[in-house]
Amino acid sequence: MQVRLQKYLADAGIASRRKAEELIQRGKVSVNGTVVTELGTKIDDKTDTVRYNGKIVKLESKKYVYIMLNKPEGFVTTVKDQFNRPAVTDLVKVKERVFPVGRLDYDTSGLLLLTNDGDLTYKLTHPKHEIEKTYIAKLFGTPDVNDINKFKRGVHVDGRKTLPAKIEILEKEEKYCYAKITIKEGRNRQVRKMCEAIKHPVAMLQRVATGELELGDLPKGKFRHLTDKEVRYLKNL
Ligand code: URA
């Protein structure tokens, strides 16, 4: 891949990008035996040989981290929030810079994956993979057979029909019920909008699984690293 020389030096841990620029300008860096002082020079990180002070500079292979967080309500999954609300990344104390895989609403809790593996994020969030996400929802009222069939066929949300979804009633109370809902997309506020469409709005929503990966008994606000087996499972989806 073609990368700027100062970025290559920074990624290899030689110096910050700005300091790397200084090193280049001071003639400390060579590419394939020729000293390069021009900023913005691009190199091929696979085939070119970069030297700093005569010593070969190699990129360490990037360390990927894969994390599951039990997101509490009251946190945003965006890194920058216009209202300055707390972000999920504040809860994940690892030295690598990780990003949420997809989103969970501010008022939704539960399983959220975070990683610095951009390829996996792309895969898990791409609609073509149709990865099942499972939620426990507290709903106003109790959906009847008709509503359940509507879910099975897909519900119109924002002018577009959703893919078939599943809803199973787990427990009924006087005014509410608890339901297990499974969808295969990640459209904005999709579960909430689907439940509104069948006139049983969501009072509480928690994601409990992504594919076969389960939240289990991970406490709210806590995170854990995925096991190798779990990472392999996600990569093979
Ligand atoms: N569906 C929603 O409505 N909200 C979420 O956070 C996730 C899925």
Q: What is the mean pLDDT of each run of 10 residues along the chain (237 residues)?
A: 89 79 95 94 92 89 89 91 90 91 95 91 88 97 96 95 97 97 94 97 98 97 97 94
Give me the amino acid identity at 120.
L
Q: Which residues are catalytic?
A: 105
φ, ψ at 96 (rounded to 5°): -75, 150
Q: Please tell me if the CB atom of residue 162 comes closer than 6 angstroms to any atom of ligand 1.
A: no
Query: Ligand 1 mean position to 204 CA, how many Å?
Result: 10
Q: How far apart are CA 5 and CA 29, in angstroms?
A: 9
Question: Which pLDDT score is estimated for 110?
Answer: 98
* Paired tokens of 147: 């509503």
* Paired tokens of 3: 């990368």
pTM here? 0.77
Question: Which pLDDT score is estimated for 74?
Answer: 96
Q: Cβ(111)–Cβ(153) under 8 Å?
A: no
Question: Which pLDDT score is estimated for 61?
Answer: 67
Going by alpha carbons, the residue nearest to atom 3 of ligand 1 is 189
Question: Which pLDDT score is estimated for 17?
Answer: 78
Question: Which pLDDT score is estimated for 180?
Answer: 98
Q: Which burial class, exposed, middle or buried, applies to 5 when counting CB atoms under 10 A from its CB (0-12, 13-18, 19+)?
A: buried
Q: How far apart are CA 173 and CA 192, in angstroms?
A: 20
